[in-house]
Chains A and B, each alone.
Chain A
């Protein structure tokens, strides 16, 4: 098992190194694929950071992602870029703390619905505000950031997510989260401050999502609430993390790579059947690989031993 983890770590470092060097020799298309892969790697890993161990299925991914996009759209042209990124992370932190305090005692389906409702609520409020108070629903963002800068920033962010995930997993908080996932009542009786642990990791995960949003915002130039808060993103992240396996740090990326490629292929060749095929893929995953690719790999290894 130790060997496997070392192997995955080495593969991860190699993958990130390729991404970092890509702008020097890759084409525009390769870079755009790399951006897609990196965004979803960050989002799915950040999602699994919280939802993996606790079993709280969150559909609020796009809420935090969209907050990041919007902070970049509003402040991007006025503030220096590093400050914009900090602002995006802080905005997400604020929302995550507020929401987390109120909702993390909801479990199961209530939490799922709540997080989905939250994303929709934020989208509606932003749309309404933009339409009534800032004159137009869309915004333009012109900053001096090229594709290769986005790739580099995202690579750094992905490395940071993995580092954080590794640290969290080794820490007392990580253990606390796994206990909560097994049995929250027992965890509380053992003296785990469950609210604190959940809130901490939920906020960390939200900040990464917002940072990813802020970083890719310049790619679009034109931004409106339907782009920034597209609920499909939450679902895609969920599918990817589940396909890969949310229980391990290296799990989500194993789902991200095949699915990003599959989505790319489907939308290029079967745009009309995209939805049907997406649904079928999802059903196959739920029925055949309930514990994700990681689960399948474990089973194979177990069979050999």
Chain B
């Protein structure tokens, strides 16, 4: 059945999109940093996973833990060193938005350039859990299912952290209003740094998962940034559930278009869908009206 094939493929793809976008929604929604280097960070961690797997035969799942922790630290440092001056300099949130776009845009080239220098422009992939599993008659590779599982576990875990813990509640408060959050004794800068670092850890985790079944290339980052942005903005900035729904929707749309219309048009349809959502509801499907 072509339809069931397309639906299942779309779901696994969508799960990955949702996972990728969750980190960005934290960075943009809470820390207010529009990180244009996001896709490059993803690619860099995918390459790190590749390197750990081929050079040390380290399982990507173990690699995921190491890389995500490392990325958490690096992103925290990045926020403290590179982005805090911008936060201090910005008078309005709009000014910070423009500044952060410009700064991370420079970062984009730096990260991409470093990966290019180390690995060159070739395509890489490795084989891990590549065997085929049949789900309802549809052949799917095990690593894709694993990635979907991880997306669900991480998404749920994050949701629980944000809604059930003090620290998480503080993060949500900052997302709603940084100025009011200060009034209830939340250290906004600390919370923002934590959110940015958490987002960085998430993108590293999704990068390692993606590396298990995508063929990666140093200059692919932009594609992931765009996808993540599309999902984040469609789902409403800072909204995890919105991320999940929008991610799945995007995955399903792509898979259906590739199966029933033309594979060459998937990206065009993605952007088309995004542009339509943006025009009808600029704050996203689940965003606050008038924000």
The 0/1 profile, CB within 8 Å of B marked 1, for residues 264-305 of chain A is 000000001111111111110111001000000000000000
Q: Could you say which residues of chain B place their CB within 8 Å of the CB of A283?
A: 103, 106-107, 110
Residues B268 and A273 in contact, CB atoms below 8 Å apart: no
- Contact (Cβ within 8 A) B222 A231: yes
Interface residues of A in 54-104 (CB under 8 A from B): 55, 57, 102-103
Categorize the interface residue count of chain B.
Answer: 35 or more
Q: Contact mask B6-41 → A, CB, 8 Å, 1/0?
A: 000000000000000000000010000010000000
* Complex contact B271–A120 (CB within 8 A): yes
Nearest to B110 among chain A residues (CB) is: A279
**With A121-B272, A132-B262 in contact, is A116–B103 under 8 Å at CB?**
no
Report the number of A-B residue pairs with Cβ-Cβ less than 8 Å: 104
**In the bound complex, how far is the Cα of B97 from the Cα of A112, in angstroms?**
11
Complex alpha-carbon distance, A176 and B137, angstroms: 62
What residues on A are CB-neighbors of B109 within 8 Å? 275-276, 278-279, 282
Number of interface residues of A (CB under 8 A): 43
A55–B278 Cα gap in the complex (Å)? 20
Q: Which of A109, A275, A282 contacts B116 (CB 8 A)?
A: A275
Chain B 230-273, CB-CB to A under 8 Å as 1, else 0, gives 10010000000000000000000000000000101101100110
Is B102 interfacial (CB-CB < 8 Å)? Answer: yes
CB-CB contacts below 8 Å: B59-103 with A: 85, 89, 94, 97-99, 101-103
When distances are taken between beta carbons in the complex, the residues of chain B under 8 Å from A235 are 105
A244 to B68, CA, bound (A): 39
* Docked CA distance A281–B108 (Å): 12
Interface segment, A22-30, A123-131, A145-153?
A: A123-131
Once the chains are docked, how many angstroms separate the CA of A287 from the CA of B82? 9
A118-B275, A276-B114 as given contacts; A128 in contact with B268, CB under 8 Å: yes
Is residue B274 contacting chain A, with contact meaning CB distance below 8 A? yes
A111 vs chain B, min Cβ distance (A): 10
A275-B275 in contact given A108-B94, A112-B101 (Cβ < 8 Å): no
Q: How far is the CA of A279 from the CA of B108 in the complex (A)?
A: 7
| Beta-carbon nearest neighbor of A116 in chain B | B226
Q: In whole angstroms, what is the CA distance A69 to B161 when docked? A: 51
Contacts A116-B226, A120-B226, A276-B113: A108 and B97 contacting too (C-beta < 8 A)?
yes
| A160 CB-CB contact with B under 8 Å | no
A282–B105 CB distance below 8 A? yes
Alpha-carbon distance between A100 and B229 when the two chains are bound, in angstroms: 21
- Using Cβ atoms and an 8 Å threshold, which residues of chain B touch A55? 98
Inter-chain contact B268/A279, CB cutoff 8 Å:
no
State whether the Cβ of A117 lies closer than 8 Å to any Cβ in chain B.
Answer: yes
For this complex, 6 residue pairs linking A to B, each with C-beta atoms less than 8 Å apart, are A55-B98, A57-B101, A102-B275, A103-B279, A283-B107, A283-B110
Residue ranges of B at the interface with A (Cβ–Cβ < 8 Å):
28, 34, 85, 89, 94, 97-99, 101-103, 105-114, 116-117, 222, 226, 229-230, 233, 262, 264-265, 267-268, 271-272, 274-275, 278-279, 282
Q: A102-B275, A108-B98, A279-B108 are in contact. List 18 more A-B contacts (CB 8 A).
A: A57-B98, A110-B282, A117-B230, A117-B271, A117-B274, A118-B271, A124-B267, A124-B268, A125-B268, A128-B265, A272-B116, A272-B117, A274-B113, A275-B112, A276-B113, A283-B106, A285-B106, A287-B103
Hey, which bits of chain A sit against chain B, CB under 8 A? 55, 57, 102-103, 105-110, 112-114, 116-118, 120-121, 124-125, 127-128, 131-132, 231, 235, 242, 272-283, 285-287, 290
